[in-house]
Amino acid sequence: MRKLLCLYIIALWAGAQPAIATRQVVLSTTVPRTQPITCPGYIASNVSKTGDGFVAELILAGPPCALYGMDIKRLKLDVRFDTKNRLHVHIKDADGQQFQIPDNVVSLDSGHGVRNASSNLRFDHLHDDLSGFGFRVLRGDQVIFDTVGHPLIFEDQYIEVTSNLPADANIYGMGESPDFLRRNPANTIKTLWNRGSPDLFQQNVYGSHSIYMELRDSQFHGAYLHNSHGMDIVLANSTIQYRVLGGTADFYFFGGPSALDVIDQYTELVGRPSRIPYWALGFHNCRYGYKSVYEVNDVIANYSKANIPLEVAWTDIDYMDRTRDFTFDPVNFPLAEMQKQLAYLHGRGQKMVLITDPAILYNSSYEVYARGHEQDVFIKNPDGSEFIGQVWPGYTVFPDWFALNTSSWWSGELRRYFDQLPIDGMWIDMNEAASFCTGSCGTGKPAGSTPPYPWTLDPQPPHRILDVNNTFLVPPYAIHNQEVELSDLTIETTAKHANGVSEYHVHNLYGHMESKATHDFLVNYRPNKRPFILSRSTFAGSGALVSHWTGDNSATWKDLHISIASAFDFGIFGIPMVGADICGFFGNTTEELCARWIELGAFYPFSRVHSALAYAPQEIYRWKTVAEAGRRALSVRYALLPYFYTSYQRSVENGWPVARPLLFEFSHVPAVVDNDRQLLVGDSILVSPVLVEGATSVSAFFPAGLWYDWYDYSVIKGTNNNVSLSAPLEHVNVHVRGGKIVPTQEPAMTTTDSRKNDFNLIIASDEHGAATGELYVDDGETFDTAARWVQFSYADKSLSIGQRSGQFKISQPLSKLVLLGVAGVSNVVVNGSSVHANFKAANGSTVITGLNIDLNVKSVITLK
């Protein structure tokens, strides 16, 4: 039993996951708050208009309340109308002593500035005799943010801003925290403190995103707090309340009015999603626990034998020499064999991605550490010594991304690594940053000594005594971080960065800054090549640098379900290339669960199966039913690659998510406000997966309109109601939305080969016999590629192909039309000339093959 327990605990750390049993010590106030608030608030004075807003002073209105620290008596209010639909409201200490995120860490778009009268948003400030200064943000006559009646609390280590909400408000976003799509407006606490933890329901995990959206009267608006400190965002008592451990109240408000508009406005501010290489949209395989490069070779071969497409072979920390970054196990993963594997993959149009952690072994004989130590790039203790935690290789130090030499040192180590093995992408993990101990546990220990993993100790050592006199270690207000201390299993909050700032202020930025340094290296190492980087820890703006997976989930049906909402969350956060570990990371999956998961996971923007050490392998070829479910679902994905890529380009240009809830397209339908059991790919493809064990049917919601079955072209006339769909184990229901035109290509075993095939168009007629769509094409690899946007419009049995922009030469012709809901077509006329084609009728639809239409020119195709 003890051996099994040890294996279980070891597995909890798998995939670089510090997850020993969490000590559940609640140090913070509960929600709703019960103690009376006697803070006086502030009085606004000396209001001065500017060209695009105004400034004012805020003076403490009475005796300090000292709720969680020292009240700051003088504040500055700065209001600016950045754009017509974005309002910036910044409340900061007048002396400028509170920490703010440096512009070179998260660069925000300032907008061109507009006059108050030109903005779609309005700002009003009022004075309440009991609570002092308050403000309202309005869109037209609708108040979308309202602090009036709630005192502003601004202390050295605590800021509180409260806004009124409607009863039973529809709130989305805030996290990262596995949860249902719609946040419970009566009892939600979202804690922003990056934490290397398994995906525990409703707890804070790897990233921090304070953006939220609200749906009100069928329209969306949003708000973002630009602050890197730990915080709780609380929904209770018809309010949203921010409780922040320092910094400033730096708010941005977005007018929408659609969900896509809010995300567009937010990503315009923090950065548009990065451009990904086309191959990233293929199917990926990984496992923590591969014993050798030869086992990975077998996995690659077995996917091919099973006729399941495999785009990218990933390897976890197993490949490293004693889990040290930038090394290769000389016995099980020798460099020469890894080079052979990479060459083999490249010869077949496949790719390789390997993992890297930020923690560096503390040992002068390890050259990576020696060079970093010489260049003074590691985070320090307050006494100036190097902060030494513990991660996989033993006692470790951590790069200080604020230090002057760190980027060049990191780039140098990566260059040596890539020069040996030019892998195709990078997986940066453990970058919350995670540690296996609390504090600088390696200080005073011999360099190179190998401590036991803490979870192997029996009995477990007691937690250290809390230093309540050090408010950076134990802040007066304790956010709902699910550890005893903020410093548990991460870098000590009192550790010092090269710019003199304590980790307390910048903890949530660590993974984002590693992402930036890694991104900068790759774009310099491979000029004009789009990098692919997968990061566990993220912050506002990380989508401009990296993609994301939702971390260490479990092989449970609930985790399968919650993965959908998590993907939707990251669409809101501006990181559209997102997915969950298919079949679950922790635990032994079942054949049925894995089959259902690949049916859903085939439609995540980032589609990867991944599992943990000490559990049974779960490559999807291992079960007959799972293999068949994978082949079927992935054949749909690979056919849809042109559509996925077009949808992702919309992310690049407008920030729009690829994976969307029905709510984003049908905000006027009350029934979809909490629908997180179905997934829209873009605006046209609806996936209705089975999420319940033992089910052979699924109850799927269909908004009003026509919805066509992907496989047999049968039509459902949606009436804003649920429809029961047959769903045998190897089948996932996929429907095409009426009124949409979807570009496809015949699927192949890799994205490279799929791209060589002719284009097809699925034309899904609406009730009026019309449909529209678009196709984006470029080389899928470089930044300065030529590109082409092609527009499609169908009405009255006539298809128009228009050239919106671009000069990219599309080599493959359009050879097939699938006319959903259109029967009896037997003749095709292209630009006035009849052409030979083949026709097949199916379920009231028509499939036309044998065409050869140039997508680089305008064309009109008449169907008779």
Residues serving a catalytic function are 429, 432, 552
The residue type of 698 is: V
Residue type, 99: F
Angle between helices 259-270 and 557-572 (to 10 degrees): 70
State the Cα–Cα distance between residues 483 and 841, nearest whole angstrom: 62
Whole-angstrom distance between the N-terminal and C-terminal Cα of the chain?
A: 73
Chain centroid to CA 140: how far?
32
Assigned token pair, 213: 């959206």
Query: Residue 582 in 3-state DSSP?
Result: strand
Q: Are residues 815 and 851 in contact, defined by beta-carbon separation less than 8 angstroms?
A: yes
Contacts of 742 (CB under 8 A, 6+ apart): 640, 643, 684, 685, 736, 761, 762, 764, 773
3-state percent breakdown (helix, strand, coil) of the chain, nearest 5: 20, 30, 50
**Cα separation of 331 and 321, whole Å?**
9
| DSSP state letter for 466 | P
Task: Specify whether the CB–CB gap between 171 and 187 falls below 8 A.
Answer: no
Structure tokens given for 712:
């047999």
* Residue reference for tokens 């490293």: 320
**In which element (H, E) is residue 127 found?**
strand 121-128
Given a contact cutoff of 8 angstroms between Cβ atoms, the answer to whether 82 and 88 are in contact is yes
Q: Are strands 86-93 and 121-128 parallel, antiparallel or unpaired?
A: unpaired
Question: How far is Cα of residue 169 from the mean position of the Cα atoms in its chain?
Answer: 24
**At residue 231, what is the residue type?**
M
CA nearest neighbour of 853 among 815, 819, 809, 803: 815
What is the Cα–Cα distance from 400 to 378, expressed in whole angstroms? Answer: 5
Which residues have CB under 8 Å from 34's CB, separation 6+?
none
Distance CA 434, CA 613 (A): 19
**d(C-alpha 360, C-alpha 397), whole Å:** 5
- 649 in the Ramachandran plot: left (φ > 0), alpha (ψ -120 to 50) or beta? alpha
Angle separating helix axes 624-639 and 641-654, nearest 10 degrees = 60
**Side-chain half-sphere CA neighbours of 836 within 13 A:** 0
User: What does DSSP assign to residue 227?
Assistant: -
Task: Report residue 69 as tokens.
Answer: 């620290």
Q: What does the alpha-carbon distance between residue 515 and residue 283 come to, in Å, rounded to a whole number?
A: 23
- Report whether 513 contacts 228 (CB < 8 A): no
Q: Which two tokens stand for residue 811?
A: 């080599």
Burial, 302: exposed, middle or buried (Cβ in 10 Å; 0-12, 13-18, 19+)? middle
Angle between the 591-601 and 557-572 helix axes, to the nearest 10 degrees? 20
Cα 446 from Cα 662, distance rounded (Å)? 57
Residue 652 makes CB contacts below 8 A (sequence gap 6+) with 272, 273, 274, 275
Other Cβ atoms within 10 Å of 506 Cβ, number: 24
Q: What is the arrangement of strands in the sheet containing 787-795, beginning at the earlier edge strand? A: 833-835, 828-830, 859-863, 798-806, 787-795, 770-778, 740-745, 759-764, 814-820, 845-853, 838-842
Residue recorded with tokens 């490279």: 752
Q: Rounded to an integer, what distance in angstroms lies between the CA atom of residue 782 and that of residue 278?
A: 10
Give me the helices (H) in 739-850, please.
Answer: 751-754
Token pair, residue 686, equals 């609806």
